[in-house]
């Protein structure tokens, strides 16, 4: 192991995070990039929503204060759903109208 104290799950998660995936949705791209909390080892939501217009890419970063997820995979799925809800206008105070 490169650093000595990492669990296999942590190392696998780091490998997956190095290859973020963009999911297309209604003309936008959603890229979840969850962050692991040090104290609970749970995962938080962080997503990037992007849109390409006339060859120019515009991107917005969104961090959610709650909920947290037990696994990286759950956080990825939750991030995609959260991004879809933002795009659909279901999240008060969050908009992609500037993209």
Q: CA-CA distance, 41 to 69, in Å (whole number)?
A: 9
- pTM of the predicted protein model: 0.76
Output the CA–CA distances (angstroms, integers) from residue 81 to 15, 67, 85, in the order listed.
Answer: 22, 12, 6
Domains, the chain, with CATH or none: 8-87 (3.30.160)
Q: CA-CA distance, 18 to 14, in Å (whole number)?
A: 6
Output the CA torsion 55→19→17→48 (10° steps).
10
Q: Are 51 and 25 spatial neighbours (Cβ–Cβ below 8 Å)?
A: no
What are the per-10-residue average pLDDT scores of the chain (99 residues)?
A: 58 60 92 91 93 91 86 90 95 90
- pLDDT for 5 equals 56
């Amino acid at each position: 192991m490169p650093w000595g104290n990492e669990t296999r799950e942590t190392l696998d998660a780091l490998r997956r995070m190095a290859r973020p995936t963009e999911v297309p949705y209604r003309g936008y791209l959603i890229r979840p990039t969850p962050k692991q909390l040090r104290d609970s080892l749970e995962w938080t939501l962080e997503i990037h929503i992007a849109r390409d217009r006339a060859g120019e890419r515009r991107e917005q970063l969104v961090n959610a204060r709650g909920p947290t997820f037990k696994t990286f995979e759950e956080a990825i799925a939750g991030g995609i759903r959260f991004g879809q809800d933002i795009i659909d206008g279901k999240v008060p105070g969050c908009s992609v109208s500037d993209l």
